[in-house]
């Protein structure tokens, strides 16, 4: 399994989040035409820990998780559920991926006037091990 599958599983495990967005949680981009509210996620940074003789198998990934809706209030509610689903998940195995820690870094609220959609980009850092 991959860290992408682990992030998807963390998000899908939140019954409250699923209550808002249903199955509209997508890696990278939404289906066309987009249906709101929705959540997208993508890895925006990552690195491997390095050792002097061998690598210890530790990895770091930074994921951007975006919430999309037709109102700022709905985006804020969904973003709060995403944060609850992911922040401070520690010492757990998710779909076979050992996660040492997952924590919230920051977020920003945005609006696209061309399509009249509100959205929020949240950043999470995940420290994990490669599945063996």
Q: 66: domain CATH number?
A: 3.30.2000.30
Is the predicted pLDDT of residue 52 greater than 70, yes or no? no
Averaged pLDDT for residues 102-127: 97
Q: What is the DSSP string of 38-77?
A: EEEEEEEEEEE---SSS---EEEEEEEEEEEESSHHHHHH
Residue 112 lies in domain: 3-129
Q: How confident is residue 30, by pLDDT bands cut at 50, 70 and 90?
A: very high
Per-residue pLDDT of 17-29, as tens digits, reads 999 999 999 999 9
Averaged pLDDT for residues 67-96: 97
Number of domains composing the chain: 1
Q: Which DSSP letter does residue 86 get?
A: H
* Rounded percentage of the chain residues whose pLDDT exceeds 70: 95
Averaged pLDDT for residues 22-44: 96
b/e sequence 76-98, b meaning 16+ C-beta within 10 Å: ebbbebbbebbeebeeeebeebb
Is the predicted pLDDT of residue 123 greater than 80, yes or no? yes
């Amino acid at each position: 399994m991959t860290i992408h599958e682990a992030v998807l599983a963390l998000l899908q495990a939140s019954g409250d989040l699923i209550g808002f967005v249903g199955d509209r949680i997508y890696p990278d981009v939404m289906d066309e035409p987009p249906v709101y509210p929705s959540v997208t996620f993508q890895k925006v940074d990552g690195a491997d820990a390095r050792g002097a003789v061998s690598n210890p198998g530790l990895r770091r990934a930074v994921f951007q998780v975006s919430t999309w809706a037709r109102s700022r209030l709905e985006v804020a509610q969904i973003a709060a559920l995403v944060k609850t689903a992911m922040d401070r998940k520690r010492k757990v195995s998710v779909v076979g991926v050992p996660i040492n820690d997952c924590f919230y870094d920051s977020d920003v609220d945005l609006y696209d006037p061309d399509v009249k959609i509100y959205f929020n980009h949240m950043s999470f850092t995940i420290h994990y091990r490669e599945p063996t």
